[in-house]
Structure 1
């Protein structure tokens, strides 16, 4: 009797296995016919029994399930993620075609994310980047990009989740970058691998091969976590995120700059300036630090001190265009009280005399600004907003000072 029961059990098991294989085949046929809903229903009917099957059957099941979920240009993100998980299971179980399908899907999803990002559809781009990461969890750069794009979309909870996952993974994003100079444009271009770069070197289109290591992305991750907390109104968590990271790396310039930015966002300019001064002790020849101190000092109302910082930035880096522009702005700001006084004058002889004196003061202010504006124009890239702004300001000043030839030259 026991033997008969055992035989029946084996027979039932074989029948179940055959039924599962049949449903997988039927699901494949449904996919071929474009009936993805039917394929998903067929697979759902046998999924609970798949775990006990041989690896070959499991691999086939998860591969077909993955195709059913991601196929037909599906835009349902949850289904695509589930499909990605199924395809990864199939690949892990040794399915021959699963990895190729994953690779194709990664490319398609990533390219769609790039297009959405260019079109400023940041929510859609972030979702697709996260799916791309789900398809290949070794590629943590996709998770980093998904987090940043979600932040651009103001999807703060989602962005925070991704950044915290990066923290748990210990991601810092440092990698080698292979570069060479394009002989035609004279610009430095980056390549994914040394071999790819060396092909261009061999054909003669590029020169000066080099290799660099990218800076750690950890400061940006910590800073953005803090920014998200700040946006959510949780300032304590924002400062705590930065300070915890700095305890581990107290002299990390990137983290110090991130902390300074958070204090700037909180409008605590005193603390902001204090941190920048601390960084300057570590990097005394960093022109950008003096430039940023100039901005914050100007915001606090001390233009005289701000001008000294801008001049120090130029001393370190004579090509610092923005420092010249801001120095010109400080000079031109002296015009405001003069204009206000001129507008309040009457029509008496004394008022007219005072008006002429004030007009001459304006001319002196304009002449004083020319040194900085002309230096900024010389260093600005034509066509940029900063270049256009400088040229427009110079045109107005030349016209006011009666230097018509110089004004006319800017119009040509």
Structure 2
């Protein structure tokens, strides 16, 4: 098996030490392969060594300025530090360099939402869902973005699909409850808030919303 593939397998198993070893050997065998540097950077990022991870991503870009995955990985790192403008630039660059993955569209959408640019985020979140229909969290974030733009019916479709994929997604049930309350369907709203509380008894927003409706009945 190729050293990069072996390293990725170790990463999936959470065996960071062996993954780092495999990627290090891949770099030694082929120092001009940007993929090995990106993979090594991902291991470093996973164990919290962001500074060194960034160095490896930058090294990959030095070797190949079109190494789209390196820009994506830098974007993730910047996003985790709430550097949303910088992260947005990286995800956009990754896209321009040819990375048309569900993950990149999702992160670009999420970054734009964080920058209060929901209208611009919408097509990227939509594309993410189209490319990976079974991603419950992408469905949820897409639904949330639709709801914030007051596209309630469309958002409910996504929240429903989210709970189909992940029946324990309490926030999706809560947002379905809010949507039903908005549509003045108190019984259905209560049912959704209760489902959120069954999954997460300390869901304060669902608890508060449920009490409000009960007090008004």
- TM-score of the pair, normalised by structure 2: 0.60
Query: Where in structure 1 are there 5+ consecutive unaligned residues?
Result: 1-137, 148-160, 171-215, 231-236, 335-363, 402-412
Q: Offset at 1:258? A: 2.1
Q: Per-residue deviation at 1:259?
A: 1.6
The change in CA–CA distance for 1:217 and 1:321 in structure 2 (over 3 A counts) is farther
**Distance (Å, rounded) in 1 between the aligned partners of 2:131 and 2:180:** 31
User: Residue 120 of structure 2 aligns with which residue?
Assistant: 271
Q: Which ranges of structure 2 fall in alignment gaps of 5 or more residues? A: 1-40, 61-68
Aligned to 1:297: 146
Cα distance in 2 for partners of 1:301, 1:325 equals 16
The structure-2 alpha-carbon separation of the partners of 1:297 and 1:168, relative to structure 1 and needing over 3 Å to count, comes to same
Query: 1:286, 1:224 → 2: CA distance?
Result: 21
Q: Of 186, 209, 216, which aligns to 1:393? A: 209
Report the 3-state secondary structure (helix = DSSP H, G, I; strand = E; otherwise coil) of the residue aligned with 1:263: helix
Pairs aligned (count)? 167
Counterpart CA distance in 2 for 1:238 and 1:389 is 30
Asked if 2 retains the 8 angstrom alpha-carbon contact of 1:144 and 1:163, the reply is no
Q: CA deviation at 1:241?
A: 2.2
CA distance in 2, matches of 1:303, 1:274: 16
Structure 1 residues 178-208: Cα deviation after superposition (integer angstroms, max 9, x where no partner): xxxxxxxxxxxxxxxxxxxxxxxxxxxxxxx
Which of 1 and 2 has greater Rg? 1
Match of 1:313 in 2: 162
Q: Quick check: which one's strand share is greater? A: 1
Q: Deviations over 1:246-302 (max 9, x none)?
A: 345523333222222232234332332211222222211222222111111111122
Change in CA separation of 1:286 and 1:229 when aligned onto 2, cut-off 3 Å: closer
1:228 aligns with 2:83: yes
Map 1:128-139; keep pairs closer than 5 Å: none
Q: Deviations over 1:339-374 (max 9, x none)?
A: xxxxxxxxxxxxxxxxxxxxxxxxx64323112112
2:175 aligns with 326
Higher RCO (C-alpha 8 Å, min separation 6): 2
CA distance in 2, matches of 1:308, 1:273: 15
**Equivalence for 1:366:** 186
CA contact (8 A) 1:144 1:162 kept: no
Assess if the C-alpha contact under 8 Å between 2:103 and 2:128 holds in 1. no
CA distance in 1, matches of 2:158, 2:93: 31
Partner of 2:44: 141
Q: CA RMSD in A?
A: 3.5
Alignment check: 8 A CA contact 1:143 1:162 kept: no
Report the TM-score, using the length of structure 1 for normalisation: 0.34
Go from structure 1 to structure 2 and tell me whether the alpha carbon gap of 1:142 and 1:330 turns closer, same or farther (over 3 Å shift). Answer: closer
